[in-house]
Amino acid sequence: MHRMRKVLAAVLSAPLALVPVPVPAGTTNGSLAVSATVVSSCVVSGATLNFGSAIDPTSASVPIDASTTMTVQCTATTPYSVALNAGLNAGSTSNFAGRAMKSGANTLGYQLYVDTLRAVVWGDGTSLSGVLPGVGTGSNQTLTIFGRLPSLTGAVPGTYNDTVTVTVTY
């Protein structure tokens, strides 16, 4: 039995002795280029501006003011500006004085502003309107839209709506 172990040990270790071990001939160095290109990007989302759901034109005091927010997210350090068109019911995209909500054939004029004092009409930078500039942080930035219903004279009962296009230029 003892002899069998020696033979078995010799047989098992013999192939290991025959395996050549590579000897390094030398070393060399090189370089590997690594790159990435980050592009400027922005996304925008908004909420509904609601002036009210039960406005009584015979007793409501005007103007009726309301506000809402939108969120802009641009890559860090990206300069941007936010413009609003005049809406679907204004007759043209830059007829800011003609902004109106519609209920069937009936209209109700309104205005959107950049500032809380409602002194600068929020538009596209034409027709005495302003845009809102900013610089991206990489995170959501909340912007406030200030709205005003200047008059309810002649308002006909109904649910009035308009759609305004928001454009972020960067």
Q: Residue 16: what pLDDT?
A: 53
Say if domain 42-157 classifies as CATH 2.60.40. Answer: yes
Q: Residue 22: what pLDDT?
A: 76
Return the half-sphere exposure (C-beta side, CA atoms, 13 A cut-off) of residue 74: 18
Q: Residue 23: what pLDDT?
A: 79
Backbone angles phi, psi at 79, to 5 degrees: -70, 140
Q: Residue 39: what pLDDT?
A: 96
pTM for the structure as a whole: 0.81
Q: Residue 29: what pLDDT?
A: 95
Q: Residue 58: what pLDDT?
A: 92
Going residue by residue through the chain (170 aa), what tens digit of pLDDT does each one get? 555 555 445 555 555 556 677 778 899 999 999 999 999 999 999 999 999 999 999 999 999 999 999 999 999 999 999 999 999 999 999 999 999 999 999 999 999 999 999 999 999 999 999 999 999 999 999 999 999 999 999 999 999 999 999 999 99
Q: Residue 164: what pLDDT?
A: 97
What residue spans define the domains of the chain? 42-157
